[in-house]
A and B are shown apart, each in its own frame.
Chain A
Amino acid sequence: MSLLEDKNAVYLFTAYGVILGAMAVYLAALWLRRRNLDRDDELLRQIEEEQQGK
């Protein structure tokens, strides 16, 4: 019997989907946090430059 014909294959594919999906979500969360930090960094730099200019 091939993998796809087994009645339990749906559990197998769901489990791997869950694990890979969770890792992808965490990776996306890391990317979003990094992007937000880049924005904060840029904003702070502008404020610091303005303060130094005063």
Chain B
Amino acid sequence: MESVLPTSVSAAHSRSRESLTRAIGVAAAGMLAVALVMVFVLAPSGDVRSGGEAQRIFYFHLSSAWIGFGAWLVTAFCGVRYLQTRDLQWDRRAHASAEIGVLFITTTLLSGMLWGRPTWNTWWTWDFKLTLSALQLLMYLAYLMLRGGLENVNQRARFASVYGIVGALTVPLNFLVSRVLQSIHPAVFGPSVNAAQQGGFGVSMDRVVILIFCLVTFTMIYLFFFRSRVALLEREDALAARKAALLDAE
């Protein structure tokens, strides 16, 4: 039973953790408001080739992708740590990160489609990068289904850890696809030999500043969601342990 219960935390420590989570949430909400002003008021318009005003979708699209793919890496890292330590707190972190990953990969795909329609004249195309991103969403969902299908806590954590580590291998692949292969998806940053990309644009300094702010904002939002979800998972496990103890006593 010991491993089901969260690592012992005092009530005071728990309260201070909750205060920090709340402070991160308030900061993230404030930063989100500033980011929206930057995107809609300060950011330059895109040219017709990059979607005109729809080019502004780029800031939150890339930020969503940053969290969506980054969350996989966090899930994989937590999986490695779980396999090393067998501490279920790492499994809870992996679970929380995967759940948030589903949210942000979904918004990445949807916002990408909404940019693609005016720019590529299609909502969707079975390009390697787009297909791989859709596959990553399905892999995230499969990860959560795998967790839901296993009753044994330790077995679930072990299987999910291995799955999370293997799934994370698609993240660098997705990053490289639009740079190394011929893909319709533009590679806005870094070197690229992709001549098939459409809708790319020059990244001026003002765009970079806004983008970095949006990336930091989304990281704060991720941290808030992550800490909140981990705290809920701890409570769920603690309650499950209490229920089991009550049933044993009867």
Contacts and interface: CB of A to CB of B under 8 A. Distances in A.
B53 interface: yes
Given A6-B53, A12-B114, A14-B114, 15 more contacts: A3-B45, A8-B118, A9-B54, A12-B56, A15-B54, A15-B114, A18-B114, A19-B64, A26-B100, A30-B232, A37-B239, A41-B235, A44-B242, A48-B242, A51-B249
Given A15-B111, A30-B225, A51-B246, A7 B52 contact: yes
A48 to B, nearest CB: 7
A38 to B, nearest CB: 9
Interface stretch (B7-15, B102-110, B138-146, B168-176): B102-110
Contact of A11 (B51, B246, B249): B51
Given A30-B229, A37-B236, A51-B249, A22 B36 contact: no
Specify which of B39, B100, B232 lies most central, judged by the most chain A CB atoms within 10 Å of its CB.
Answer: B232
Contacts, number: 82
| Chain A contact residues, majority secondary structure | helix
Interface of B: 36, 39-40, 45, 51-54, 56-57, 60-61, 64, 100, 103, 106-107, 110-111, 114-115, 117-118, 221, 225, 228-229, 232, 235-236, 239, 242-243, 246, 249
B79 to A, nearest CB: 22
Interface residues of A, number: 26
A36 B249 CA distance: 24
A12 B107 contact: no
